[in-house]
Structure 1
C-alpha cells in the first residue's frame, strides 16, 4: 500500500494541536522530525508486549525482541542498499557514528603530514572530531572553499585533495544552506588519491534516496530522529573490510566473544561495535519509520520538498529586507530555507513566529565556521518535510511580514 502525500499529515498526531492559540506550523524538521502514528505504535507494542534484552536469552520475549532488533538492521541495510547487515552498526546517532570513525579508524591510520579534507558548511559533529584527530596525529585539516552561492565545485575539490589526503569528510546536505553536495563525484576524487570518503548523511537520508554502493562511500552516518524515527538511535554504515580492521570504541557486554583474566576477543561484525545493551526500542522504531517512508516513497518526498523549497524561495523574495542563504536553484537544495531579516535578530524572529504558532530554528545551527563565512552571527531557518504544505509557507510569510512590521514600530 502506498500512502499519498495528501494523506500524510493526518498520520502525525502532534501536528493537530494549537500553540499559543494558533494551529501549529512545524518548520523545524532539520532539527528533529515528527513521528507518525505507526512509529509511536511500534514503540508502544515493544514496551507493552515484548520488552526484553536481545541476543542473550532463549525465552520467547527475548527471541521476539532479537527478531525485531535484527529485523530493523535488515530494513536499514535495504534502505541504504548496503551490501550486508554486517556493514550496519547501530549507534546513538550521527554524532556518535562520526566520532567512531574518527576514533577507531582515523587515529589509528593517520600520521603527521597526512591530510583530512572537509568543507566550511559542516555541522560541528563533522568538524570537531577531525580537529581532535589532527591534534593527536599531527595530520593537517584542510577546507574546500565554497562558491558564492554556498555550493562546492568539483574543480575546488580537485585542487584541495592531494596525494597526502587520507580522509575526505563532507555533509551530503548542508543543514544551513540546504546545499546538496556531489558526493559520488567527490568520492571518486578521494579514491583516486587513495583517501577514504566519509559522509554525514543526517540531512539527506530522510529526504532523498541514498544508495551507499552507488555513491561508493566508505562510511555513511545518519540519525533516526530526523527521519520520522525515535531519538537516541542512528546508524554508521561502513565498508566491511574497513570495519573488520577497526577496533571497538566501547568495551563490555554484548560485543565480546571470549573474556579471560588478562585478554579478550571480540564478536564478529556488526556486534563488536555495539557494546552493552543496545538501543532496542530505538532500532525497532527506526525500522517502523523506514517502513513508513518506503510506503510514502522517497522519490515522492524529494519531489514534494523541491516544490516547497521553490515556493518558499518565491514567496520570501516578495519580502523586502530578507536575505536568503544558499543556492538559488531549488533543484540544488534540500527542503529548507535559512534567512535573516535586516535589523532583526534571528532569535527575535523565532520568538515572534512562535507567538503565531510557527516553529522555526534560530542560532548558529552548530555551524559556526559557516556563520563566519556568511559574515553573520546567527540565522533563522525554516525546514520542511513530507507533512508540510504550501499553506504552512504562506503562514510563515505572513508571520515574517508581521515580524518586520512589529520591529519597525518598536524602533
Structure 2
C-alpha cells in the first residue's frame, strides 16, 4: 500500500468523467480543477508586474514573486535568485546554451549522451556544428553510448570527459527507457575534469534535464550539487506554459542573458553607450512574463502536497514559507504510488508474447515497448479505440531509438501519474494484449 487515497485525488480532476484512461503523463499531466478555477479567480485583479503603482499591479507582483520563492523552496534552491522561468524545459536548455555561448574556447567539448531528449542534444549539436564554427571556434559534441539495458554507459561517459570538457549534459530520467543515471557519479566525473572555468573553478559544469526527474521524486539541488537543472510544469499538473531553469547564483550573475529587453533591464539604466541589467532573477526575465501561469504553476506544488496529505496544514492558495521536508514527503508518497503502478504494468506486459520492453527494471514511472509484427503507431491507435491513451513515436528520444536499431525509430509508451489507479493499469495492459 502506498498510503495515497487515489479516489479522493481523482475527485479533484474532470477527466475521469469522460472515461479516459490517461496513461500519457510523461508528455503532459492533467490539470486539477482548483488550478483552472484559481486562474480565473486571479483575472479581476490582474495587472502587469514590477512597473505599476496600482493596487492591482502591486498585488500581482507580490503573488508573482512569491511563486518564485515557492518553486525555489520545492527544489531546495538557496533563493529565487537561482531561478530562470520561461516556457518549458527546451527553452531552459537554450538559455544555458546562449548564456555560455561566448565562454567556449577553441578546442573545448560538450559531453552529452545517446539517451537525451532532443531538447538536451540538438542545442549542443547546433552550438558545436553550426554556431561556434561561424565564430571561428572548433568545439566537439561527444555523446556517451548506452549499455545493454538502455542506461547511460557511465564508464564510457567518463572516458569522454577531459580537461577541455566545459559542460556535461545528461538526462535525470529518460522519457524512453525510464533510466535514471546516478547524479552523484555524474557530479564526481564532472569534478574530476579539471576544466578551468571563467569563474576560477576547475571542474566541468553539470546540466541535468529534470523534465521526467522532478515530477517523479524529490530533488535537492544543493545536495545533488548540480549546476543547472531544468523541468516543466506541464508535467506537474499545471499546463500553463511555464518551464524552470535552476542555476547556481554565481553562474547566473556571470552568465549572459538569453533574451534582451523589458524587465531584464535595470530601471532607467539604458544609455547610448551603456546598459545595466536588472538584479537576479529578473536579469533573465525579458519582456512581460507568463504572470498568471507562473503564479498558478507554483500553486500546483502546494496543491500536490495537499492531495498527498503530506503537509500538516493546507498549502494551496497560501503564500510564504514551508520546509523542504514537505517536498520530500510529497514526492516520496507519489514515487511509491507510481512505482507500484509501474511495477504492476511491467510484470503484466512482460507476460505478453512478442512484447519487448526497453530499459531497466528500476525506472521512472513509464514503460516503452514494441510488439512483434505490430507497428507502434497502429498499436497506440488500437489502445485509443479501447479508451486507453498511450503514445507512439520516438518521444523526442531519437538518438536512443536509433542506438537500439529500431525501425521505424519508434515505440509505444505508457506513463503514470498521481491520479492513476490499478484499474488504469489493468485496462491498459488488457488493451495492449488485445491490440
Return the alpha-carbon distance in structure 2 between the equivalents of residues 189 and 292 of structure 1.
37
Please give the secondary structure, in 1, of the residue aligned with 2:262. coil
- 2:358 corresponds to 1:338: no
The match for 2:313 is none
Cα deviations by residue, 1:181-233 (Å, 9 ceiling, x for unpaired): 11122012102211000011001111100111111000111111001112311
The match for 1:250 is 259
Return the alpha-carbon distance in structure 2 between the equivalents of residues 378 and 171 of structure 1.
19
What's the CA shift for 1:117? Answer: 0.6
Cα deviations by residue, 1:122-153 (Å, 9 ceiling, x for unpaired): 00000011012212142111122211001134
The match for 1:34 is 30
After the TM superposition, which of the residue ranges 252-261 and 172-181 deviates more from structure 2?
252-261
Please give the secondary structure, in 2, of the residue aligned with 1:222. strand
The match for 1:108 is 102
Conserved in 2, the CA contact under 8 Å of 1:115 and 1:139?
Answer: yes
Return the alpha-carbon distance in structure 1 between the equivalents of residues 398 and 233 of structure 2.
24
Return the alpha-carbon distance in structure 1 between the equivalents of residues 401 and 155 of structure 2.
24
Return the alpha-carbon distance in structure 1 between the equivalents of residues 273 and 218 of structure 2.
47
What's the CA shift for 1:158? Answer: 2.4
Return the alpha-carbon distance in structure 2 between the equivalents of residues 50 and 14 of structure 1.
29
Return the alpha-carbon distance in structure 1 between the equivalents of residues 28 and 292 of structure 2.
18
What's the CA shift for 1:287? Answer: 0.9
- Residue among 214, 217, 229 paired with 1:205: 214
Please provide the CA RMSD for this pair. 1.4
- 2:349 corresponds to 1:320: no
The match for 2:417 is 385
The match for 2:138 is 138
The match for 2:16 is 15
What's the CA shift for 1:157? Answer: 3.1
- 2:338 corresponds to 1:305: yes
The match for 2:237 is 228
Number of aligned pairs? 392
Return the alpha-carbon distance in structure 1 between the equivalents of residues 281 and 204 of structure 2.
23
Return the alpha-carbon distance in structure 2 between the equivalents of residues 262 and 351 of structure 1.
59
What's the CA shift for 1:6? Answer: 4.1
The match for 1:95 is 90
Dislocated runs of 4+, deviation >4 Å: none
Q: Which runs of 5+ in 1 are unaligned?
A: 18-22, 404-411
Q: Map of 1:10-409 to 2, 5 A cutoff?
A: 10-17=11-18, 23-47=19-43, 49-105=44-100, 107-135=101-129, 136=132, 137-193=137-193, 194-257=203-266, 258-295=269-306, 296=308, 297-327=330-360, 329=361, 332-376=362-406, 377-403=409-435
Return the alpha-carbon distance in structure 2 between the equivalents of residues 27 and 3 of structure 1.
18
Conserved in 2, the CA contact under 8 Å of 1:191 and 1:197?
Answer: no
Please give the secondary structure, in 2, of the residue aligned with 1:254. helix
What's the CA shift for 1:241? Answer: 0.8
What's the CA shift for 1:3? Answer: 7.1
**TM-score under structure 1 length normalisation:** 0.93
Return the alpha-carbon distance in structure 1 between the equivalents of residues 41 and 191 of structure 2.
45
Cα deviations by residue, 1:85-142 (Å, 9 ceiling, x for unpaired): 100111111000100101111x122122211111111000000110122121421111
Return the alpha-carbon distance in structure 2 between the equivalents of residues 14 and 288 of structure 1.
20
Conserved in 2, the CA contact under 8 Å of 1:118 and 1:170?
Answer: yes
Return the alpha-carbon distance in structure 1 between the equivalents of residues 305 and 214 of structure 2.
12
Q: Which runs of 5+ in 2 are unaligned?
A: 194-202, 309-329
Conserved in 2, the CA contact under 8 Å of 1:54 and 1:62?
Answer: yes
